[in-house]
A and B are shown apart, each in its own frame.
Chain A
């Protein structure tokens, strides 16, 4: 495939939206709280709980402060885009659906080596685990494919299938480009053509320095304590229908989680403290999950 014929970064997103929309997914917008992964969007982590069917797809900008490389690494970014699909219950032809989506964005599976590599996925900060695969394209992990078994420390039934595409990495293969900053963000033929670097390189540079060097540790720790206190307070508060304020509480769990990632990137968390921080976030997440399941059971 020639460069000009390949889908641009934004066309890949639009194509995936079309593809998964046709599968009955609600197409959501990114969650507007800083998160490390698309899984953390309440449309995945909370909706995977309880018995109600649910299909959703969305792009989630994800922040991983420890991965900042000041824009110098060809594909490691501290801010990147995940395309997230959740299918609950998981359809039996989910692998075929996934391969169909790769074809739709222009990955030819007779020219590329698409490999499903067994992977035991877990996210300890949200008490979630599942089995599935890393999907490799020519040796690059371009997607994560998981059958959730537990979320928020609770067994899930029915099981959800989760697909997470690393959009930048996938685009490298779609466009045949070696460096993520050289990706075509929009149409290469357009007079208003922009590369990924035009859009995000300066963000990478400034935020890498901020997250790893300039962030105020004392302030971050103070904020972490605030968020940690706010989540349980909201779970104990109620809306007009008597329901606990789970969704607002969960926002504060996400904020705490991001503050932890920032502190970690600053090297402000001793190895011995890590488990304790992760455990505290997980406990808050479990409390939200438990309340959500109870609310669903009560027929909300």
Chain B
């Protein structure tokens, strides 16, 4: 929220300054737990006078309307201008001193501030994120006076709540303000606070040969909670290290905002943590570190309790409980979903090379941990906990891993699963979700994707591509309970769109993506292999020239098609001149090779065969005039050109290739 508030403050100021035609050199905003600060450098001393032209009623409007406009504009009736069928009022807006402008602008910004949630406090009508205590507003070292719902602006601010003088201080420019804050134990800039936290934490860890586990999100959050960051090293009972490390880390992060610490080289969690206090205490933080350790001990005791309670029931027995949890009003409860995922995983096992029974078992149990106490407490441990509980029950390790990994990949930074059973369940989970929501018309539109179906599709795509699975989307989708011909068709389009977006992001040529997608292939691994091969082919002289020849043929064919229907049937070799017969022979030789290569998915061989066409095509266009005066000759040559299109079109839609 703080970073958002700083951005909003800067944006509101920028917008208003530019509306008022006020230039400045720089603008910066800072946010912290108790203050929002905006500093604009290089503003002029005031605003220049400006011409303000305002449009009034149209010509010939009722006199009352014109009189009203004149009054509202504050000009004489005689000064009204009539132009382009309307009245206009032209007025010189006198320039105003900057302090006046700011005294109006700042209260407007406060009133317009887009807090996600705001409040009023007793006796006031001002909406702000929490009760507003002070407003300091200075321009050119002078106080800018205004009132906010009874709160007068001033040149005083306050520093740290518990450290230093604990008295308001005066500041008349940004340098003074920043320095006074530092003198009152407040670090203004969040980046500086982050630096201090990391440096302090690294030093504490290094002293004991430990290593801080980096966590950028946590760092930002903690830096927003403290004004005078003071990292402390605390310890915990090593007995708790028998809990899953994910549980310990999540409990630390979510409940306590502590950083985890690991053993220097081994990388295993160490029985320590880093907490960031807001004060430097006289006892070097001993009391604070002990207090933080006490809280963590209670949290971990709770986690141990959840673990023990959860282990008292099998995952299988929880499937019944899943019936009480709604997945989506129109897609039934979680029990139904678990059973669907189990069935689908069994059917998808063949695509990832998994044992169908293991895949079915893992799929069925994949959602069981959603009704455990631990996942109730830490929703982000879904899947992970299921995996641990499955192992604790003695369930097959492949099944346990699949339960743990089936949500993966959840973001660009996370790798998809690679074990066959895990892949089958990960695919089943996502395909069930995508088909389900598509079947009730809950498809993503624009920026709206409430069920994260795009991420799910990307997960399927990355799982397939990373493992080079031959898993055609249509065949997989058909296995879902929600499959209808319409749903399958939209889902295949959806996957094509997502794959295109992924490939574009990875820097593939858009024209080649289009050329291969035109074949409507739903085997995504093959699509990507083809795009790669095509790209390499086009980088060879044969490839580039062949595309020119192809385009020439296509241009002639489309020009002729405009004049009348193109001749059908196969060309005839008899009586053809050498170059024409040569192309005929080359096509006859290449066609079966291409067909055979494609049938065995050897795309490189298919392209290699096409390369054989390059020379005969070049010779043909050099030596043969397609538009012969003899209709039979012309028709035969057009038939030949159509064959180039046929043979090459089976490999890619070369008309979409640029260059």
Q: B-contacting residues of A (Cβ < 8 Å)?
A: 69, 72-76, 88-92, 99, 109-118, 120, 130-133, 137-140, 147, 149, 157-161, 172-173, 176, 178, 270-273
| Residues from chain B with Cβ under 8 Å of A160 in the complex | 122
* Closest A residue by C-beta to B125: A157
Q: How far is the CA of A140 from the CA of B298 in the complex (A)?
A: 10
Q: Contacts A113-B277, A139-B256 known; A159 to B294 CB distance under 8 Å?
A: no
- 28 A-B pairs whose Cβ atoms sit less than 8 Å apart in the complex: A72-B301, A73-B305, A74-B298, A89-B122, A90-B122, A92-B122, A109-B161, A110-B279, A110-B282, A111-B283, A113-B288, A118-B1, A118-B130, A120-B117, A131-B117, A131-B119, A131-B129, A138-B295, A139-B295, A140-B291, A159-B120, A159-B122, A161-B121, A178-B294, A178-B297, A270-B323, A272-B324, A272-B326
- CB of B287 within 8 A of CB of A111, answer yes
**Considering only CB atoms, which chain B residue lies closest to A172 in the complex?**
B294
The one of B258, B277, B302, B324 that contacts A69, using a Cβ cutoff of 8 Å: B302
- The one of B130, B225, B371 in contact with A131, judged by C-beta atoms closer than 8 angstroms, is B130
B632 to chain A: closest CB distance in Å? Answer: 77
Inter-chain CA distance A112–B291, complex, in Å, is: 9
Q: Which chain A residues border B285 with CB–CB below 8 Å?
A: 113
Shortest Cβ distance from residue A2 to the other chain B in the assembled complex, whole angstroms = 13
Smallest beta-carbon distance A78→chain B, Å: 13
Beta-carbon nearest neighbor of B115 in chain A? A131
Within B130-177, which residues are at the interface with A (CB < 8 Å)? 130-131, 133, 161-163
In the complex, whether B325 has a CB less than 8 A from a CB of chain A is yes
Q: Is the CB of B292 within 8 A of A138?
A: yes
Contact of B123 with A158 in the complex, beta carbons under 8 Å: yes
A-facing residues in B257-296 (Cβ within 8 Å): 258, 275, 277-279, 281-283, 285, 287-288, 290-292, 294-296
Please name the residue on chain A nearest to B258 by beta carbon: A139
By size class, the interface of chain B is 35 or more
B333 adjacent to chain A (CB < 8 Å)? yes
Closest 7 pairs (CB-CB, A-B): A270-B324, A138-B291, A89-B122, A139-B292, A113-B277, A271-B325, A131-B119
Taking CB atoms, residues of chain B closer than 8 Å to A147 are: 119, 121, 130-131
Interface members, chain B 105-135 (any A CB < 8 Å): 117-123, 129-131, 133
Whether B122 lies near A110 (C-beta < 8 A) is no
Cross-interface CB contact of A137 among B291, B325, B333, cutoff 8 Å: B291
Given the known inter-chain contacts A112-B288, A114-B162, A139-B275, please indicate yes or no for A89 contacting B325, CB distance below 8 A: no
1/0 per residue B498-527: CB within 8 Å of A?
000000000000000000000000000000
- In the complex, how many angstroms separate the beta carbon of A154 from the nearest chain B beta carbon? 14
B298–A113 CB distance below 8 A: no
The verdict on A113 contacting B278 (CB below 8 Å), with A69-B305, A138-B291, A271-B325 known, is yes
Chain A residue, CB-CB nearest to B376: A271
Residues of B within 8 A of A (CB): 1, 33, 117-123, 129-131, 133, 161-163, 225-226, 256, 258, 275, 277-279, 281-283, 285, 287-288, 290-292, 294-298, 301-302, 305, 321, 323-326, 333, 371
Q: A111-B287, A112-B291, A271-B371 are in contact. Are A139 and B123 (CB under 8 A)?
A: no
Please give, as numbers and ranges, the residues of chain B lying within 8 Å of A91 by CB-CB distance.
Answer: 122
Residues A115 and B225 in contact, CB atoms below 8 Å apart: yes
Bound Cα distance A115, B226 (Å): 8
Given contacts A89-B123, A139-B295, contact A115 B301 (CB under 8 A): no
Q: Which residue of B lies closest to A155 (CB)?
A: B120
Asked if residues B298 and A76 are in contact (CB atoms below 8 Å), the reply is yes
From B1, B119, B163, B305, name the one whose CB has the most chain A CB atoms within 10 angstroms: B119
Which residues of chain A have C-beta atoms less than 8 A from B275's C-beta? 139
- Residues of chain B lying within 8 A (CB to CB) of residue A272: 324-326, 333
Chain B nearest CB from A266 CB (Å) reads 14
| Inter-chain contact B282/A73, CB cutoff 8 Å | no
CB distance from B296 to the nearest CB of A (A): 7
Q: How far is the CB of B100 from chain A (nearest CB, A)?
A: 29
Chain B residues lying within 8 Å of A178, measured Cβ to Cβ, are 294, 297
Assess whether A158 is in contact with B122, with CB atoms less than 8 Å apart. yes
| CB closest residue in chain B, given A92 | B131
Q: Tell me whether A73 and B288 are in contact (CB under 8 A).
A: no
Specify which of B123, B277, B294 is in contact with A140 (CB 8 Å cutoff): B294
Taking a contact as CB atoms under 8 Å apart, the answer to whether B371 and A149 are in contact is no
Contact A73 B298 (CB under 8 A): yes
Please report the C-alpha to C-alpha distance between residue A112 and residue B256 in the assembled complex, in whole angstroms. 16
Inter-subunit contact B162/A109 (CB<8 Å): yes
Question: What is the chain A residue whose CB lies nearest that of B276?
Answer: A113
CB distance from A102 to the nearest CB of B (A): 11
- Do the beta carbons of B281 and A111 come within 8 Å of each other? yes
B224: nearest chain-A partner, CB-CB: A118
Which one of A73, A111, A112 lies within 8 Å of B301 (CB-CB)? A73
CA of A147 to CA of B258 in the docked complex: distance in angstroms? 28
Q: A131-B118, A138-B294, A147-B121 are in contact. List 17 more A-B contacts (CB 8 A).
A: A69-B305, A90-B121, A91-B122, A110-B281, A110-B282, A113-B281, A113-B291, A114-B161, A114-B162, A120-B117, A138-B291, A138-B292, A139-B258, A140-B291, A149-B120, A271-B371, A272-B333
Question: How far does the Cβ of A160 sit from chain B's closest Cβ, in whole Å?
Answer: 8
Q: How far is the CB of A202 from chain B (nearest CB, A)?
A: 19
Contact call A173/B291, Cβ cutoff below 8 A: yes
Residue of B nearest to A149 (CB): B119
A73: B residues at CB distance < 8 A: 298, 301-302, 305
Cα–Cα, bound, A73→B306 (Å): 12
Knowing A138-B287, A272-B333, the reply to whether A116 touches B292 (Cβ < 8 A) is no
Q: How far is the CB of A144 from chain B (nearest CB, A)?
A: 14
User: Once the chains are docked, how many angstroms separate the CA of A184 from the CA of B49?
Assistant: 74
Q: Which residues of B contact A173 (CB under 8 A)?
A: 291
Question: In the complex, which of the residues B162, B321, B326 contacts A110, with contact meaning CB atoms closer than 8 Å?
Answer: B162
Residue from B117, B281, B295, B326 having most chain A Cβ neighbours under 10 A: B295
- B122 nearest CB across to chain A (Å): 3
Judge whether A140 and B295 touch: CB under 8 Å.
Answer: yes
Q: What's the nearest-Cβ distance from chain B to residue A248, in Å?
A: 30
Judging by beta carbons under 8 Å apart, are A117 and B225 in contact? Answer: yes
With a CB–CB cut-off of 8 A, which chain B residues contact A133? 130
Say yes or no: A159 contacts B121, CB within 8 Å: yes
Residues of A contacting B33 in the complex (Cβ-Cβ under 8 angstroms): 116, 118
Q: Which of B287, B296, B298, B326 has most chain A Cβ within 10 Å? A: B298
- In Å, the complex CA distance between A274 and B395 comes to 32
Name the A residues within 8 Å of B226 (CB-CB).
115
B301 and A74 contacting across the interface, CB-CB below 8 Å: yes
Q: Please name the residue on chain B nearest to A133 by beta carbon.
A: B130
Contact present for A74 and B281 (CB under 8 Å): no
CB pair B122 A139 closer than 8 Å:
no
Q: Within the complex, what minimum Cβ distance (angstroms) separates B289 from chain A?
A: 8
> In the complex, what residue of chain A is closest to B333 when comparing beta carbons?
A272
Contacts of A74 in B (CB 8 A): 294, 297-298, 301
A6 to B485, CA, bound (A): 75
* Residue on A nearest B323 in the bound complex, by CB: A270
Q: Which of B122, B298, B302 has the largest number of chain A CB atoms within 10 A?
A: B122
